Amino acid sequence: MFSYKLINNFVVRVVLSIWMLAAVSIRLRVNIYEPFTNFLKVYGLWPSMIWLQDIKLWIGF
């Protein structure tokens, strides 16, 4: 049988993993995704809205 300590350690690891993934996702969106898309929009290189939806789905945003 599983002990409570083993279950607690597992829960803590899962929660911390989800927290870290969320932090990395937010940091990537703010520091990389937004400036890059703004640069493309300024120079008229940003794709149409249909392509934009596909790109966002592919990236996971």
Domain residue spans in the chain? Answer: 4-59
Its pTM stands at 0.42
Give the pLDDT score at 10.
84
- Measure Cα distances from 9 to 2, 3, 14, 18, 33 in Å: 11, 10, 9, 14, 34
Interacting residues of 55 by C-beta distance below 8 A, sequence separation 6+: 47
Q: How confident is the model at residue 2 (pLDDT cuts 50, 70, 90)?
A: low
User: Where is pLDDT greater, at 53 or 1?
Assistant: 53
pLDDT digits (tens, 9 = 90+) for 5-58: 777 888 888 888 887 777 777 777 777 677 877 887 788 776 667 776 777 777
Res 46: pLDDT: 67
Look at the block and give the residue holding tokens 């794709």.
47
Cα–Cα distances (Å) from 30 to 24, 40, 54, in that order, read 10, 15, 20
